Amino acid sequence: MSVLGRLNVSGIMAMPLLLMACSLFAAQETKSAAVVVDAPDAGWQERLAAREVRRYAYCRTGTWLPLSPALPDGKDAIVVATKDRTTIAAVAGDVALQKAITELEPQQYMLKTCSQDERRVLLVVGGDGVGTMYGAYRVAEHLGVRFFLHGDVIPDKQIAWKLPELDEIGKPLFELRGLNPWGSHPFGFDLWNANDYKAHLAQMTKMRMNFIGMHCYPEGHPYAEPTVWVGEDGDFDRQGRVTFSYPSSYYNALFRTRWGGFRPGPTGDYHFGGAMLFDRDGWGPEVMRGYAPRPETPEACNDVFNRTGEMFHDAFTLARLLGVKTCLGTESPMVMPKALQERLKSQGNDPGDPAVVGQVYEGMFRRIMAAHPLDYYWLWTPEGWTWQGNTGDQMKTTIGDIQLALAALKKVDAPFRLATSGWVLGPKNDRAGFDKLIPEEIALSAISRHLGEDPVDPAFGHVKRRDKWAIPWMEGDNGGLAVPQLWVGRTRQDAVDARAYGCTGLVGLMWRTRILAPNIATLAQAGWEQPWYDQATKPEEPSTPADSVIEGAQGGKFANYAGAQVAGTEDDELYQSCRYEMRGYELKVPNGTYRVTLNFCEPHFHAADKRVCDLKLQGKTVLEKLDIHAEVGRFAALDKCFDDVKVSDECLKIEFVYVESLPCVSGIVVEGKGLVRKINCGGPAYEDYAADFPPPESPTPSQRLRKVPCEDFYDDWIFALFGAEAADQIAAIFAEIDSRLPRPLSHGCPAGLRPDRRPWQQVAADYAFVDALAECRDKVTGAGNRERFDYWLGTMQYLRAGAKLDCAVGKFQLVMEKVKAEKDLDARKRLAAETALPAYREILAAYREAFGHLLATVSTNGGLATVMFWEQSVLPAALGDTAQVLSQALGAPLPPDAMPAKDYQGGLRVIVPTVRTCVAPGESLRLNVLILSSESPREAALHQRPLGAGDSFERLPLEHVARGVYAVSIPPSSNDRGFEYYIEATGSNGQVARFPATAPALNQTVVALP
């Protein structure tokens, strides 16, 4: 059953809404079309809501409903208003109805069809303007429309106009519901421009979500992003345009990122037509245009920040009108860029001085206030807190930094609030600890641990004094961003957990849009209703917080060289094990003075200068450049003793400072008055040595079941996207593979080629569902239904082809091992030609197949990012490194037919990667249009007309930008209707392609904002 099919708050469930569409209109005939009442005193959001009801009624029925300032005589009407408007009181005569309307709170809405004077009136009432908009979009959903982050889905088949019979009250389960987009890979918000933000914000409002928040990486961790500028007051003007800054960058084709093994290069070198999708070699977001891979001059650095600020001003101004809360933030403690530190020092200031840090926060906040609207600024604890844990000193420093930020916020009288976030909710000894340690006006949030493999942290249940936002992952970058990820069942469970722990916010972490549509839609629905709540697994109980003094190791791994002979000791077993790659230890001991002995042994390196570290006790350096091998050699005991180590806070702190490679230690002995404590580092209990603290929690999935039944979701989603003809069969396939999709191309973060040496025939069985899905295609009718089906079928065929490529590379590796084993040079060349070259051609064929499916489905920035991923990560590994190895074995270059082609080999396509559905008064809408074609199109134009006017279309030729990239500007709308348009391209062979696929019968609509 459909989640969206619930018609009232009493919990009555109904059939999927699209199945209901006709019955909704059967109850009451009307003599003429209704009007939409848009009262003269209506606010901006109410007026938009009225226009949206009119737009979607037109899209579904072809009937244009006029706007009226008051209830007309005799006609059915849809009254769109907040609860306190006189037009509502004029219709709501029933006392019980009046009471229900009066009790509506902000964000809440009511849909109620009433009788009045022999006519029917549909009330769309909001507790405030935002609630009124939500009510209007629910009316559209009842008409059969579905909303997704990438755009609307309007069913192909229109229905006759009749006033719907509705009785529904909507109340959100969470005050904040929204998205946490990420970048730092080609996937994600790095590639978003102002139009992308505005398109997504409008769609979020339709999905009744009201929060968007982005994290900003600092310089060196791994590199500075321009999302947030870090600097001093006085280094920007009244519009927030900075005059001093530092290099920052969003991802672009020439940028070398830290993750994923990407090899940057010009897009003009892309293969199989991929180059056609990009207008320049250094393609990326508009803020980086002309500055790829990153700005180099002071003026360029400033310009990147200023462009970004202008983008956020444009986007966040719309967000505020739509009732969407915006949030940006950096990591805590503050990481100052090097250029700023040097500048502060030149002024005689210490960048580490808390007073100076506070002044920088003041500058950052004042610049935000000048540059763009903002509702929240969040401070993120570093990612290391989830992998290595945190020390007590780190916790204290972070709390101090948060307090500095709060003081700065108040001093500048900022119009936004503070929040925290991070890869964990709080410090390791008490994940809910911030609830006791920082002011309650600061909201707490956290993304789920282990890249989304863990459930929502039960510690949220211990947070009692403030707002708290759970941020589950709707997709993971642990090898998954190049392939589809279906997590409807898991997302439902995460939403159940967040609700059970009393969270006031439910926010989904994501990078991509269309390919993630089921997960995002699920999260949006779960923010309002969870009829499957009782079907979910019971949430984990919050654990009891640990002692306030943190004890244990900070990071590290175990190694054991059992049986090794260790010189200079009788305790070989003690020195055979070690902990390495740790930052240190914190041990709980009574205050006093101690003797500390550290036991060392070099188990791995055969020479000096390979493993070197400094050693600190209680924050003081007690040993510099410790080189175990230089002192005693390999597998020899080395003890270092330190007397008079004073402890005053019940915590003994041992720190290892990396100089060369990874520090290691085999034992710790602490001796003081009445206390002797020994730890066998990296090993179990041994004689009077206690076992070491376990390594940090390993990133393995929680053993708890995290999949709520989701058949009802896919019933509705499939019916909406593909129509009725094969809905049951297709929905069953998707429900079966939800949370179970195989994951090829899963090496590293965010993804990468993962050679699979299993025969493809064995692996192919995991992808049987792809053929089952393909068998449904002939049953899908209608241009829009077919386009949407082909997208998802092509996506699954692409997934399977990616697995085939993994196997082809694995097979090539096996063949090359045999080739390399051949000692005779001539025989080796012959074997390479007879076995390795055919295996390489299989790689090329698999790559061509996968890339072909990718180009057939590219429709968003996420798709363009995936093309970049293939050319910068997969191709160099699959067809570059392997080609070099093969060429060496052959003793000659590869033949031309074994080289990847440059030309596009698919069918004609028209792509609009960013689809805006609303424009501001006086705004000219600039569209970026991509045309994939084996030859330049014979003709390409946009056709537009006023929305619902029935006039002939005005033709606007597309402007050729470069390669397969075109642009066109639609002039500002001269009325309150908005406009509808379609784009048509004709190939050299006469083939025609259109966007949207349903045009010209059903076109892309754009409503005019009030």
DSSP string, 190-249: GG--HHHHHHHHHHHHHTT--EEEEE-PPTTSS---TTS----TTSB-TT--BSS-----
Q: What is the pLDDT of residues 538-566, one digit of tens each?
A: 887 776 665 555 688 988 999 999 999 99
User: Before 838, cis peptide (omega within 30)?
Assistant: no
Q: How confident is the model at residue 12 (pLDDT cuts 50, 70, 90)?
A: very low
pLDDT value at position 949?
87
* Tokens coding 936: 């330049």
Q: How confident is the model at residue 429 (pLDDT cuts 50, 70, 90)?
A: confident
Q: How far apart are CA 484 and CA 744, in angstroms?
A: 10
**Contact in structure between 579 and 682 (CB atoms under 8 Å):** yes
**Contact in structure between 445 and 469 (CB atoms under 8 Å):** yes
For residue 13, pLDDT over 60 is answered with no
For residue 20, pLDDT over 80 is answered with no
* Tokens coding 211: 């929060």
- The correct CATH number of 176-247+298-535 out of 3.40.50.360, 3.40.50.620, 3.20.20.80, 3.60.140.10 is 3.20.20.80
Phi–psi pair at 366, nearest 5 degrees: -65, -40
**Contact in structure between 716 and 17 (CB atoms under 8 Å):** yes
Q: How confident is the model at residue 14 (pLDDT cuts 50, 70, 90)?
A: very low
* Tokens coding 650: 């019940």
Q: How confident is the model at residue 583 (pLDDT cuts 50, 70, 90)?
A: confident
**Topology (CATH) of 552-691:** Jelly Rolls (2.60.120)
CA dihedral 110, 115, 121, 127 (to 10 degrees): -20
- The correct CATH number of 909-1008 out of 2.60.40.10, 1.10.287.610, 3.90.870.10, 3.30.70.1230 is 2.60.40.10
pLDDT value at position 389?
84
pLDDT value at position 785?
98
What percent of the chain is helix, strand and coil (3-state, nearest 5)? 35, 20, 45
SS3 277: helix
Q: How far apart are CA 475 and CA 887, in angstroms?
A: 39
pLDDT value at position 547?
54
pLDDT value at position 111?
98
Q: How far is CA 541 from CA 459, 501, 546, 928, in A?
A: 8, 9, 15, 50
Q: Are strands 119-126 and 325-331 parallel, antiparallel or unpaired?
A: unpaired
pLDDT value at position 117?
80
pLDDT value at position 549?
57
| Proportion of the chain above pLDDT 90, given as a percent | 85
Q: How far apart are CA 742 and CA 796, in angstroms?
A: 10
**Topology (CATH) of 711-898:** Methane Monooxygenase Hydroxylase; Chain G, domain 1 (1.20.58)
pLDDT value at position 32?
54
Average of per-residue pLDDT across 960-978: 94
Other beta carbons less than 10 A from residue 780's beta carbon: 21
Q: How far apart are CA 439 and CA 435, in angstroms?
A: 8
For residue 9, pLDDT over 80 is answered with no
Closest CA to 176 of 524, 511, 507, 526: 507
Weakest mean pLDDT among 12-21, 64-73, 713-722, 876-885: 12-21
pLDDT value at position 545?
61
**Contact in structure between 645 and 597 (CB atoms under 8 Å):** no
Average of per-residue pLDDT across 981-989: 96
Q: Which residue has the higher pLDDT, 6 or 86?
A: 86
3-170: which CATH architecture?
2-Layer Sandwich (3.30)
pLDDT value at position 700?
44
For residue 36, pLDDT over 60 is answered with yes
Cα within 13 Å of Cα(529), Cβ side: 20
Q: What is the pLDDT of residues 342-392, one digit of tens each?
A: 999 999 999 999 999 999 999 999 999 999 999 999 999 999 898 888 888
**Contact in structure between 180 and 523 (CB atoms under 8 Å):** no
| Proportion of the chain above pLDDT 70, given as a percent | 95
Q: How confident is the model at residue 28 (pLDDT cuts 50, 70, 90)?
A: very low
Average pLDDT of the chain is 93
Average of per-residue pLDDT across 673-679: 94
**Boundaries of every domain in the chain:** 3-170, 176-247+298-535, 552-691, 711-898, 909-1008
Q: How far apart are CA 18 and CA 717, in angstroms?
A: 10
Q: Are strands 939-946 and 979-986 parallel, antiparallel or unpaired?
A: antiparallel
Give Cα 404 to chain centroid, integer Å. 29
pLDDT value at position 5?
37
**Contact in structure between 122 and 111 (CB atoms under 8 Å):** yes
Q: What is the pLDDT of residues 484-529, one digit of tens each?
A: 999 999 999 999 999 999 999 999 999 999 999 999 999 999 999 9
* Tokens coding 751: 């993804």
Q: How confident is the model at residue 905 (pLDDT cuts 50, 70, 90)?
A: very high
pLDDT value at position 221?
84
pLDDT value at position 722?
98
Q: What is the pLDDT of residues 410-420, one digit of tens each?
A: 999 999 999 99
For residue 588, pLDDT over 70 is answered with yes
SS3 494: helix
Q: How far is CA 574 from CA 26, 49, 563, in A?
A: 83, 73, 11
pLDDT value at position 950?
83
Q: How far apart are CA 195 and CA 200, in angstroms?
A: 9
pLDDT value at position 872?
95
SS3 347: coil
Total residue length of the chain: 1010
